[in-house]
Copies of this chain bind each other. A is one copy, B any other.
Amino acid sequence: MLKVPVFPDSAPMPPSPSAQALHPAGKRTGRADPDSARCLMCKVREYNLCSSIEDHDVTVLAQATRQISLPPGTAVIEEGTPASAFFNVINGTVKLFKSLPDGRRQITGFADAGQFVGLSNSRTYSFGAETVSTVLLCRCTHTQIENLLAEYPGFARHLLSAVTHELADAQEQMLLLGRKTAKEKVASFLLDRIKQYHRTHPHDPDAETTASVPMTRVDIADYLGLTIETVSRTISTLRRDKIISGTENHCIRILSLPNLQDIAYGLKSI
């Protein structure tokens, strides 16, 4: 049978306390140790990949991963370097991007709390990743991911589901980049940010009308395939048209969600 590793030939990693063989599948620890408590109490555990590993096996996870905190603007993954690690975002936002030799850049997505970063099929990363805000990450080597995949069938299925979802998002973004106008692009982006805010603040009564935009105009422009000037002008227009309200730059309030939706999908001729 053809071998098709998801993480082929992971580059050798510097030895770390947590870089040890996983427990055999199904082995139970009598009770939670301090490490597994970290995973059990993790605020994104129920939303992300880790939910595939049941509570009583969580020691495996805790020993396979290490948490790191990074300030805004820090490189997490360097485009073209050996692909060796995988990251879960616990808190904050990470941007993923690809670049051209002359420096032009396309941000392919933002990974918020609960999402992951660093899946690669090839020996090197085909994309870069950098923190947008202060970010808490859970790091795991590809070798350890391979072990989890081999021991927990549910994990492979969960990962497949997550990647399939990402692919659908990527296709939606291709539609945006190839066929939408600047105004439609910005409106679509704001809708995504509202959804994201709603996911992470389900109990905020204003969640329906709030968009958290932690990224700069440069990042928004590189995400939407525009220039910062066009992004700025378009947001100003939306403010002038009373579709959004103009208090702050990084927390936008939506005055007319239906109008914004119509614009995003090209139903508003204006």
Closest to A161 in B: B4
Inter-subunit contact B108/A161 (CB<8 Å): no
The distance in angstroms between the C-alpha atoms of A149 and B164, with both chains bound, is: 15
Which residue of B has the minimal Cβ distance to A171? B108
- A161 contacts which chain B residues (CB < 8 A)? 4-6, 121
Taking the complex as formed, is A82 at the interface, i.e. its CB lies under 8 A from any CB of chain B?
no
Chain A interface residue count, CB cutoff 8 Å, equals 56
Least Cβ–Cβ distance between A93 and chain B, in angstroms: 18
Q: Considering the chains assembled together, what is the distance between the CA atoms of A105 and B171 in angstroms?
A: 12
Chain B residues within an 8 Å CB radius of A171: 96, 98, 108, 126-127, 170
For residue A154, CB closer than 8 A to chain B, the reply is yes
Docked-complex contact A164 and B6, CB < 8 angstroms: yes
Docked pose: A60 CA to B178 CA in angstroms: 41
Asked whether any CB of chain B lies closer than 8 Å to the CB of A252, the reply is no
Q: Among A102, A168, A172, which residue has the most Cβ atoms of chain B within 10 A?
A: A168
> Hey, what's the 0/1 contact readout for A163-190 against B, CB within 8 Å counting as 1?
1111110111111011110000000000
Q: Cβ of A52: which chain B residues have Cβ within 8 Å of it? A: 1-2, 4
- Complex contacts, A267 vs chain B, CB 8 Å: 101-102
Against B, the Cβ 8 Å flags (1 = close, 0 = not) of A133-170 are: 00000000000000001000110111111011111101
* B51 with A1: CB separation less than 8 A: yes
Please list 20 pairs of residues, one from A and one from B, whose beta carbons are closer than 8 Å in the complex, sorted by A's number. A2-B51, A2-B158, A4-B161, A6-B160, A6-B161, A96-B171, A98-B175, A100-B179, A100-B266, A101-B265, A101-B266, A106-B174, A106-B175, A108-B175, A121-B165, A126-B168, A156-B160, A167-B170, A174-B177, A178-B225
> 5 nearest interchain CB pairs?
A178-B225, A177-B177, A170-B170, A106-B175, A106-B178
